[in-house]
Amino acid sequence: MPSALRGLVEPRLVRGRPCAALGPPAARYLGRLELTRARTRRLGALGALVALVGVAFAGSPAPDVAAPALAAAHAAGAAAAGAAHTKPSGARFELGRAEVEPRRAFFDAGRPIRLRYRFSARRRLDLVIRVVRVADRKTVRRWVEHGLAPGRAHVRRWDGRRGDRGVPADGRYELRVGPRGHRGALAGRFDFHDHRFPVAGPHGYGDRFGDPRSGGRVHEGQDLPSPCGTPLVAARGGRVQARGYSDALYGHWVLIDGTATGRDYFYAHLQAPSPLEDGERVRTGEPVGAVGMTGNARSEFCQLHFELWPHGYRHGAAADPAPDLRAWDAFS
């Protein structure tokens, strides 16, 4: 029983005086208080407030007893009400079945990351969904879903961008779901990569970036020997900037302006013209052609000649793509 009410339901002494010394009105009043003891235990502080107010209006207690009783009851009720506002809502959120797919995801791929989940609760909830990098526990993307119904299937898709529309670093990530102020229950984990290796089949590493060429030229890319006809895919999604044919050098080629990056990606010695059209949108991992030996590769072997231009094609110098290619090769 709250200390503020304990004195109110003790009928034997009030302010140090026996009940009989207070007179018949006070005795009747305290008798009624005695009857509220069991109710007080059941209802707690707020219930006691209601019971005591009822007692106060049921008769005409002695003034020196009624005023302290009502004042103490009011204080106890106010304290209980304040406590109710600071306690959790009592929604009892619990994440149910949840699945994340794919488990290995690529930025700007044709298949975005998808979270499908259910939860249980006493009522509809606003839920916060976060994409968290496992290595440093940093949240890279966050959504608030309003008024979700418990027991139903809910879906959230992620295109692989941070909240500032940039692209997060490669690594292991997890999706967490929970109400505001909640750490979030783990819904699933996945690996995320911003590029994919362009040769979708057996391959090797041939002539390197910077190797000398006839006429004082240098090799501006990395050659990747592979059987003719091996599928080639976009290392990074983007838009086709140009495509064409060069009999003297590149044979069939296609140039893609990467999404959310200043880089351009150049694919050469294709077996046939790329199936993509100028200006067409392509996603990471989608087909761009097949390995061939057109152009000056016709006297050598089947291969992809791959170039990487950090600031756009022919804007500044090309970069050595080998470090990136080997990194992409490790997980593709």
CA distance 249 to 298: 10
Domain boundary residue, one of 86, 107, 142: 86
Whether 199 is in a domain gets the answer no
- Does residue 160 share a domain with residue 225? no
- Residue-number span of the structural domain to which 10 is assigned: 3-86
Give residue-wise pLDDT tens across range 32-54.
Answer: 545 444 454 544 444 444 343 34
Whether 138 is in a domain gets the answer yes
- Does residue 316 share a domain with residue 278? yes
Q: What is the pLDDT of residue 1?
A: 47
- Does residue 53 share a domain with residue 108? no
* Residue, of 4 and 96, whose pLDDT is higher: 96
Give residue-wise pLDDT tens across range 131-187.
Answer: 999 999 999 999 999 999 999 999 999 999 999 999 999 999 999 999 998 899 999
Burial class (CB in 10 A: 0-12, 13-18, 19+), 304: buried
Domain boundary residue, one of 62, 86, 110: 86
Q: What is the pLDDT of residue 24?
A: 53
- Does residue 311 share a domain with residue 270? yes
Is the pTM higher than 0.95? no
> Which residue shows structure tokens 């004195």?
7
Q: Domains in the chain: how many in total?
A: 3
Do residues 190 and 104 make contact, with C-beta atoms less than 8 angstroms apart? yes
Q: How confident is the model at residue 91 (pLDDT cuts 50, 70, 90)?
A: confident
Share of the chain above pLDDT 90, in %: 69
CA distance 195 to 108: 9
Whether 99 is in a domain gets the answer yes
Whether 104 is in a domain gets the answer yes
Phi and psi at residue 238, in whole multiples of 5°?
170, -150
Strand order across the beta sheet in which 154-158 lies: 94-101, 113-120, 154-158
- Does residue 316 share a domain with residue 240? yes
Q: What is the pLDDT of residue 87?
A: 36
Mean pLDDT of 84-96: 65
Whether 277 is in a domain gets the answer yes
Do residues 278 and 240 make contact, with C-beta atoms less than 8 angstroms apart? yes
Q: What is the pLDDT of residue 11?
A: 43
CA distance 180 to 188: 19
Q: What is the pLDDT of residue 66?
A: 44
SS3 327: helix
Other CB atoms within 10 A of residue 24 CB: 10
* Residue, of 141 and 55, whose pLDDT is higher: 141
CB burial readout 257-269, b (16+ within 10 A) else e:
bbbbbebbbbbbb
Give residue-wise pLDDT tens across range 234-263.
Answer: 999 999 999 999 999 999 999 999 999 999
Residue whose C-alpha is closest to residue 195's, from 119, 115, 308, 96: 308
Q: What is the pLDDT of residue 274?
A: 98
Give residue-wise pLDDT tens across range 278-332.
Answer: 999 999 999 999 999 999 999 999 999 999 999 999 999 999 999 999 999 999 8
For residue 5, pLDDT over 90 is answered with no
Q: What is the pLDDT of residue 31?
A: 52
